[in-house]
Structure 1
Amino acid sequence: MPRLVLAATAGLFLLSGFAALVYQVLWVRELGLLFGNTAQAAALAIAIFFAGLAAGGWFWGRLAPRVRSPLKVFGLLELGVAATAVGHFVLIDLYHIIYPALNAAAGDTAWATTALRAGLGAIVLFPPAFLMGGTLPMMGQHLVRITGRLATTGTAVYALNTFGSALGALAAGFVLPPLLGFSGAYLLAIGLDLFVGLAAIGLAMGVVLAPTGTRPQEAAAEQPRNARSNTAAAASAGLPARLVALVAFVSGAATLGVEVLWTRLFAQVLQNSVYTYAVVLVAFLLALSLGSLTANALARLRAPAPRQLLLLVLAASGAVIAASPWAFHAVTGGLAYVGAGASWLEYLGAVSVVALLVMVLPGILLGITLPYLLRLMEAARPEPGEILGRLVAANTTGAIIGSLAAGFLLLPWLGVSGSLLVLAALYPALMLPLILREPIPWPHRVIYATPIVAAVAALIAFRTAGPAATTLNADERLLEVIEGTHATAAVIERGEHRLIRVNNFYTLGGTGALESERNQTLIPMMTHPEPRSVFYLGMGTGITAGTSLLFPVERVDVCELLPEVVELAERYFAPWNQGLFDDDRATVRAEDGHHCLRHADTDYDLIISDLFTPWKAGTGNLYTREHYETGRARLAEGGLFVQWLPLYQLTEKELGTIARTMDAVFPQVVMWRGDLFADGSIIALVGTEAGVTVDPDALVAHGRSLADNPALPEDLLQAVNLRFYAGNVSLSGLFDEAPLNTHDRPVVEYQAPRSQRLVQAGEETWMTGSRLGFLYQNLAEQVPPAEDPYLAALEDDAHGYVDAGRHYYFYNVLRMNERHDLAGAQLRQFLALTPFDQPPGDPEAPTTRSSWEEGR
């Protein structure tokens, strides 16, 4: 075969691996949107995909030796992948129509729900994955027929495909969704498969080989001299096929299990955006690709004997996996945040360096085992396509079991470090059957096996000896940490207060911010005349959701994504969440909030969406047009959809996109302040139907009821609440030019991580302080309170309470900037517009959220 044709064939296989990883990323995301963005949904999608690959590898591998032109069949398989992938668009749209009814029929039964999701997922994923599974055996059969070299050609083919997968992960994580949208990225992958298929068929027209095995003379030339000896050949051939399959199976289980656990380790020190997850995945795949290339080099060695070399690889693999928790802590400085203060490109560079330092050496060793098994099988002269198919089937089946066991069994049971030690023990355990089949006397086998048994026992015995799962500041005390299926969550005590921290750096709330967390319920609830049913998307400590139970509500539904957080909130925050877990009116579910809301069996007077970290992977889906359409469809007449936003984590770009997206769905969107802090502010965007207004009588009635004081003056109660109103977003037109955020083009998910790093590097600022004050001013200028239809039910004097809140905000901004002369003027205007003799609370209280929480 001419070198140019061989290079073109290799290039097609690289593109095949590229497209396959793009598909995988997009399928997992799409099924997450359909079934819920939970660890179980992601694991189910990956398991179905891998099952298809395993079945396809086994089936097409058996067929490969009987095919006259494997390259042509490879091309047809690629065309089949493209054809079945096109069906994704029809099926997914159909699923969104029929799934609500099917899900309701399944009810709350876990097995029925899982079976439903598995069945629907399999219809979408299994056919293309089954066809993908045949591409490696067919390409291997074709190239090995050409070269006559099973080990070196097979390992090279595997390395090439894995490298293509790494490139696909890089493109799917960084380039394609922002550039083309997810639909465009999916169509690109289909287009690549069509090109690869047609090109392969074209190349196959000039390369037709008889369906025989490898060329005997070239296969013999491939063998090292010692491998060509009868003794070595017999030794290699003496390794039973079942034992080889067992090695492939355990290798797949350990490799994918380790990947799951390493991903959790990296979650403790990274931004956890789509970009950082992509960096970790790319680094892992590159390491596996390098492992295949290493196996290629090892296959050329004359000594040591293949089985002895495999034993060395297994021993080294177990050692580096066992050491990886301590290595990770050493590289990250004891779970310190990677790249703190770095700009965007500097941050990506820092993450890449850490990922490579942690994973390259172990990943190379893990990546050697599977392809090097071809060297052990070479002396038996097997058909290349068949052996590749069998090995991939066994390895992928192991990968399914390993990933599920690591994420859902080992991790909650032993934590990350203990789980890694148990997986490390698999490698020396795998050495035992190999040693026991060595052609040496039994006493020698026992001698060699004894330290291996001791190593396995030691790794399992010391499974609880790993480094700490989370870090603490000097003034903090750990009450409990849970390393669960979704996250590592901890309850931490700081002075008199408690907080929940997720993945080492993300605080979900605590008793130090009690008033602010309660405001997230009080402010919207006070404006509704008769709130009876409330839905909370996100829970944290439960303080916000529990506040609703102070009102005469009939139903409170709470959906929190992280079951670890639900468990800790119930155990440690009962004194502050108003009996949320005991009140018959409240139901708390550990489930994806969007999925929970979409399939709710009732409409709600209020839907309150909690504060989320905007740059975290998956969070952007909660700011999309589709999500807000779901929310609007679930509102009762006169209902309010309340989206709380952490302005200390958003720039003007992200805020504009979210506001513009909500405005595209709701006829009316207004803004409320969650506090009057100069820094660290939160706001609520409230979406309603047209004609909904603030009810001044509701403000008074709710205020008197909560205070248990029917004599409280009306003007006082209205002023206390209306000072938090910021303005009418819909009529202001301030965000009309911002881009929409959709499932197909999730602007926030890809923009917020960059903004976070720019702020950390001092190149951008959050939407707080003076910048937020100017937004408040612009809202008031574009739609003055007296002209705001949302405030139409208020008396004229009450409009001044809205202006007063803006003046008090500027008072805090000026105090923060030590402009006390100007601050005094703002305070006087606040007092002039309200019935207060002095501001509610202490006028000398801290002006920023962080200092206020520390002071408490």
Structure 2
Amino acid sequence: MVSTPLRWAIAALFFLSGFAALVYQVLWVRELGLLFGSTAQAAALAIAVFFAGLAVGGWFWGRMAPRVKSALATFGLLEVAVALTALGHFFLTDLYHGLYPALYALIGDHPWADQALKVGLATLILFPPAFLMGGTLPMMGQFMVPVVGRLSTTGTALYALNTFGSAVGALAAGFLLPVLLGFHGAYLLAIGIDLVVGIIAILLGRRIRSRGTGTHPAPVEPFPAEVVAGEPASQWSSLPPRLVGVIAFASGLATLGVEVLWTRLFAQVLQNSVYTYAIVLVSFLVALSLGALMANALARIRRLPPQGVLGVLLLLSAGVIAASPWAFHAATDGLNYVGAGAGWRDYLAAVSATAIAVMVLPGILLGAVLPYLLRAVEASRPEPGRIIGQLVAANTSGAILGSLAAGFVLLPWIGVTGSLLVFAAIYLALVIWLIWRTPAPLSWRLTGAAPLAAICLTLLIWHPQGLSVSRLDQAAGESLLDVREGSHATATVVQRGEHRVLRVNNYYTLGGTTSLESERNRTLIPMMTHPDPRRVFYLGMGTGITAGTSLMFPVERVDVCELLPEVVELAKIHFHPWNNGLFQDPRVTVRAQDGHHCLRHTRQRYDVIISDLFTPWKAGTGNLYTREHYEVARARLADGGLFVQWLPLYQLTERELGSIGRTMQAVFPQVVAWRGDMFPTGSILALVGTEADVTLDPDVLVRHGRALAGNPSLPAPLLQAVSLRFYAGNVGLSQVFDDYPVNTRNRPVVEYGAPRSQRRVHTGEARWVIGAELGALYEALSRQVPPHQDPYLSRLQPRELGYVHAGRHYYHYRVLARHGHEALAGQHLEAFLRLTPFEIAPSPSPEETGSRWEE
């Protein structure tokens, strides 16, 4: 006999089990992204292996459930085993980092062999704990279902409880645990929760069994209350097992496929930070949990035929999926940015409201299908653990196929809207099959199935018009040139007057012809300072204009890694007139891969490594500002090499800039700063990491300048002044960033702080490091490490040091002039002209950095 308080205690254990499982999943997907690269393929691999473990575990442990002496104690043993196998994560990842470079060199540049290596490691890390997790629901179902007649309601309640625990776990992993505990601490917390849950369940299982309750609790008080003991299980016959299995499989396929597609839709209108991804995931899981509760309520209505209820659920699911693209466009007013201009809390509220409006009702219907299948089979009086395990196995297997098909087949083929219509058609096909399996006369079945078949066919061949895939600024004369809805992102090329820009996910412009000078400067400024830059690596490509500029130098090898294959394709087609033959030059290798992964696993050494501009609040980008990433970059530099980290100061507050600068100081013996432009508002800055003995040779500036201009008689002072005016100061010897935290993978302060800072800037609570704030930084650098005391500038003569001072004066001139302080601006301009060979001030270029977030 199991008392009601004890049942609620056991329910709490199952809730915590779901909580820990989602914490694991979130952290595993992140960690494998760091190991294999932050690509769609890496994320899909992690999800596929994890779900495969759940599916096999559900099937295996479901078969074992009726045979064990105590299902509750076995559940506890599984939880303890999950915790122990999860600990292997630390050992296996360290082993991977040690062995992968040698294995990669052994297999060579063969994608399939490399993928097999990744699959093997992912299986070692994820499959064992996932296999054990797959057995928790069947074992708990075997224990909690007291009589066969309560399979549907108790099973659906357990499914809802565990899924809700997963939603809370996803919320904690996305918002709280990494900030409070770090990722290692969050992972250890999940392990600790599983250990505690497992030990308590083992003790309770043994206690209950010793009192003679056996595997099934006695039906003293139903959980939750419903039918009286001895009532027939059902007046309706069960659906055939084959049909139930197909519906479970198709439900998993469509549900996960739809989640992938909805996530892509939300990526077009959100900040795309760790927080917004967490909100979308939590909203979806909450909807599935509510769907299970809906199935529970429907299962209590014994007079309703299960086959009819299931048919209605499938039909409604088809309708809401088919309508969801239009619902999303209505909720976002045609792909407008959600929460534009809002502060942090208001922004999160706006994102949550939109996610709820778009996903919760459809998610409830989708989430009700699988648990309601328990009602459809209970008349055959199956063993609870066995049938739950079979349904979990079929549903999770479908989920693997659905997520892969949506992300890698349907999206690139027919886009988001077409893909959602395909999944709606799948639900309609299931309804047609249900109708056809009824014992009704043939004419009745044809009458019901024929219209649905026509609608199903229409959904498959329909190509709806009118739903835009990209927001265009009509006032600026924008028009859409090309679009790629790919597995990684939705990328577009937009014509804006005489210029064209490359945009990703609607609001992030990677660059374009409006910013040619700025994009070329990101190569020219650092390569002009290196005496002989032969081997160059680019982390990020965008339009290819920056990387193509390296071909103006006598380079021998240029390696470019761009995360998004859609960007590579569009840059090759639409920006070839400006990227200097980047895609045709035999010295260049362009890979659509994660740049950190490329850099980590190459054995090549580079004279210059250029890390492009990255949006700091975007999920995953913060990893490119970590100590671990900079340590890899330093290890890949040749003697005298330069690592160049370009920073979008118009997207960084003092807090994020200070953390990035402090992190580079922790890795590189010398860190100097170079301006990328003289813009008063849209400035970029390069932090250049080198070894301590690297110095700037002014003669190198002259040699490169004359070679680039094709004019060996150009005056040396002019060429030196052109470059040296961009030098901003020695960061490594200054104290400007000493009080900020080092950004690490375990404590990713940039990735979790930048999204908040972005919203604080919009409400006036913080400011980007531009204008006067940036001018103050330049003054602090000059005051703490004056140019004549800067060891990096030790080879410069007094006249050449004056060019450095002149650059600071010119920046102040631009800022003051912009704000109408003409008298002060004129003083700085006079100082600039006095210190340089320029007869007049350089013409201000348009304030376009190319890469920016357009909210």
Please confirm whether the aligned pair reaches a TM-score higher than 0.5, indicating the same fold.
yes
CA drift of 1:215 comes to 6.9
Task: Report the equivalent of 1:557.
Answer: 559
Q: Secondary structure at the match of 1:431?
A: helix
Distance, in Å, in 1 between the alignment partners of 2:63 and 2:338 is: 48
Please state if 1:689 is matched with 2:694.
no
Q: Secondary structure at the match of 1:812?
A: helix
Please state if 1:273 is matched with 2:273.
yes
CA drift of 1:242 comes to 1.2
Q: Secondary structure at the match of 2:145?
A: helix
Match of 2:581 among 575, 579, 582: 579
Distance, in Å, in 1 between the alignment partners of 2:438 and 2:228 is: 20
Task: Report the equivalent of 2:96.
Answer: 95
Please state if 1:243 is matched with 2:249.
no
Task: Report the equivalent of 1:764.
Answer: 766
Task: Verify the 8 A CA contact 1:414 1:464 in the aligned structure 2.
Answer: no
Task: Report the equivalent of 2:701.
Answer: 699
Distance, in Å, in 2 between the alignment partners of 1:110 and 1:462 is: 36
Task: Verify the 8 A CA contact 2:208 2:214 in the aligned structure 1.
Answer: no
The unaligned stretches of length 5 or more in structure 1 are none
Task: Verify the 8 A CA contact 2:149 2:232 in the aligned structure 1.
Answer: no
Distance, in Å, in 2 between the alignment partners of 1:604 and 1:629 is: 14
Task: Verify the 8 A CA contact 2:647 2:684 in the aligned structure 1.
Answer: yes
Please state if 1:325 is matched with 2:325.
yes
Q: Secondary structure at the match of 2:541?
A: coil
Task: Verify the 8 A CA contact 1:726 1:779 in the aligned structure 2.
Answer: yes
Query: What does 1:332-343 align with in structure 2 at a 5 Å threshold?
Result: 332-343=332-343
Is the deviation greater in 801-810 or in 204-213?
204-213
Task: Verify the 8 A CA contact 2:671 2:689 in the aligned structure 1.
Answer: yes
Q: Secondary structure at the match of 1:743?
A: coil
Task: Report the equivalent of 1:309.
Answer: 309
CA drift of 1:805 comes to 0.4
Q: Secondary structure at the match of 1:297?
A: helix
Task: Report the equivalent of 2:658.
Answer: 656
Task: Report the equivalent of 1:588.
Answer: 590
Equivalenced residue count is 846
Q: Deviations over 1:758-814 (max 9, x none)?
A: 011121110000000000000000000011000011111100101100000000110
Task: Verify the 8 A CA contact 2:511 2:849 in the aligned structure 1.
Answer: no
Task: Verify the 8 A CA contact 1:421 1:463 in the aligned structure 2.
Answer: no
Please state if 1:441 is matched with 2:456.
no
Task: Verify the 8 A CA contact 1:520 1:674 in the aligned structure 2.
Answer: yes
CA drift of 1:214 comes to 9.2
Q: Secondary structure at the match of 2:146?
A: helix
Task: Report the equivalent of 1:6.
Answer: 7
Is the deviation greater in 435-444 or in 827-836?
435-444
Task: Report the equivalent of 1:108.
Answer: 109
Q: Deviations over 1:325-374 (max 9, x none)?
A: 00000000000000001000000000000000000100000000000000
Task: Verify the 8 A CA contact 2:640 2:694 in the aligned structure 1.
Answer: yes
Task: Report the equivalent of 1:432.
Answer: 432
Task: Report the equivalent of 2:782.
Answer: 780
* Cα distance change on mapping 1:146 and 1:741 into 2, 3 Å: farther
CA drift of 1:103 comes to 2.3
Distance, in Å, in 2 between the alignment partners of 1:182 and 1:569 is: 36
Q: Deviations over 1:567-587 (max 9, x none)?
A: 000000000000000001111
Is the deviation greater in 434-443 or in 726-735?
434-443
Distance, in Å, in 2 between the alignment partners of 1:363 and 1:374 is: 19
Distance, in Å, in 1 between the alignment partners of 2:72 and 2:147 is: 11
Please state if 1:382 is matched with 2:382.
yes
Q: Deviations over 1:737-770 (max 9, x none)?
A: 1100011111100000000000111211100000
Q: Secondary structure at the match of 1:731?
A: coil
CA drift of 1:303 comes to 3.7
Distance, in Å, in 2 between the alignment partners of 1:220 and 1:612 is: 52
* Cα distance change on mapping 1:631 and 1:219 into 2, 3 Å: closer
Distance, in Å, in 1 between the alignment partners of 2:110 and 2:402 is: 26
Distance, in Å, in 1 between the alignment partners of 2:583 and 2:710 is: 25
* Cα distance change on mapping 1:507 and 1:186 into 2, 3 Å: same
Q: Secondary structure at the match of 1:766?
A: coil
CA drift of 1:320 comes to 0.2
Task: Verify the 8 A CA contact 1:648 1:680 in the aligned structure 2.
Answer: yes
CA drift of 1:466 comes to 6.3
CA drift of 1:695 comes to 1.3
Distance, in Å, in 2 between the alignment partners of 1:488 and 1:766 is: 28
The unaligned stretches of length 5 or more in structure 2 are none
Task: Report the equivalent of 1:800.
Answer: 802
Identity %: 67
* Cα distance change on mapping 1:146 and 1:801 into 2, 3 Å: farther
Query: What does 1:51-450 align with in structure 2 at a 5 Å threshold?
Result: 51-145=52-146, 149-208=150-209, 209-211=213-215, 228=232, 232-233=235-236, 236-237=237-238, 239-450=239-450
Task: Verify the 8 A CA contact 2:628 2:744 in the aligned structure 1.
Answer: yes
* Cα distance change on mapping 1:757 and 1:210 into 2, 3 Å: same
Q: Secondary structure at the match of 1:481?
A: strand
Query: What does 1:801-840 align with in structure 2 at a 5 Å threshold?
Result: 801-840=803-842
Match of 1:489 among 483, 488, 491: 491
Distance, in Å, in 2 between the alignment partners of 1:568 and 1:69 is: 60
Query: What does 1:439-838 align with in structure 2 at a 5 Å threshold?
Result: 439-465=439-465, 467-474=467-474, 475-838=477-840
CA drift of 1:301 comes to 1.0
CA drift of 1:414 comes to 0.6
Is the deviation greater in 320-329 or in 146-155?
146-155
* Cα distance change on mapping 1:207 and 1:852 into 2, 3 Å: closer
* Cα distance change on mapping 1:466 and 1:318 into 2, 3 Å: farther
Task: Verify the 8 A CA contact 1:681 1:849 in the aligned structure 2.
Answer: no
Distance, in Å, in 1 between the alignment partners of 2:343 and 2:226 is: 51
Distance, in Å, in 2 between the alignment partners of 1:146 and 1:207 is: 17
* Cα distance change on mapping 1:457 and 1:773 into 2, 3 Å: same
CA drift of 1:840 comes to 2.2
Amino acid at match of 1:351: V
Q: Secondary structure at the match of 2:795?
A: coil
Amino acid at match of 2:395: N
Q: Secondary structure at the match of 1:780?
A: helix
Amino acid at match of 2:473: N
Task: Verify the 8 A CA contact 1:418 1:466 in the aligned structure 2.
Answer: no
Task: Verify the 8 A CA contact 1:149 1:214 in the aligned structure 2.
Answer: no
Task: Verify the 8 A CA contact 2:62 2:390 in the aligned structure 1.
Answer: yes
Is the deviation greater in 311-320 or in 754-763?
754-763
Task: Verify the 8 A CA contact 2:492 2:503 in the aligned structure 1.
Answer: yes
Distance, in Å, in 2 between the alignment partners of 1:205 and 1:850 is: 67
Distance, in Å, in 2 between the alignment partners of 1:469 and 1:580 is: 29
Distance, in Å, in 2 between the alignment partners of 1:113 and 1:691 is: 38
Q: Secondary structure at the match of 1:155?
A: helix
Task: Verify the 8 A CA contact 1:32 1:38 in the aligned structure 2.
Answer: yes
Distance, in Å, in 2 between the alignment partners of 1:481 and 1:223 is: 57
CA drift of 1:210 comes to 3.6
Q: Secondary structure at the match of 2:740?
A: coil
Task: Verify the 8 A CA contact 2:149 2:233 in the aligned structure 1.
Answer: no
Distance, in Å, in 2 between the alignment partners of 1:516 and 1:139 is: 61
Amino acid at match of 1:602: Q
Q: Deviations over 1:219-275 (max 9, x none)?
A: 9996699x9598x43xx22x2111101000000000000000000000000000000
Q: Secondary structure at the match of 1:145?
A: coil
Is the deviation greater in 592-601 or in 564-573?
592-601
Is the deviation greater in 102-111 or in 351-360?
102-111
CA drift of 1:213 comes to 10
Please state if 1:45 is matched with 2:46.
yes
Is the deviation greater in 753-762 or in 275-284?
753-762
Amino acid at match of 1:724: F
Distance, in Å, in 2 between the alignment partners of 1:180 and 1:220 is: 37
Distance, in Å, in 1 between the alignment partners of 2:349 and 2:631 is: 38
Amino acid at match of 1:68: K
Task: Verify the 8 A CA contact 1:476 1:492 in the aligned structure 2.
Answer: yes
Amino acid at match of 1:116: L
CA drift of 1:148 comes to 5.7
CA drift of 1:115 comes to 1.2
Task: Verify the 8 A CA contact 1:677 1:812 in the aligned structure 2.
Answer: yes
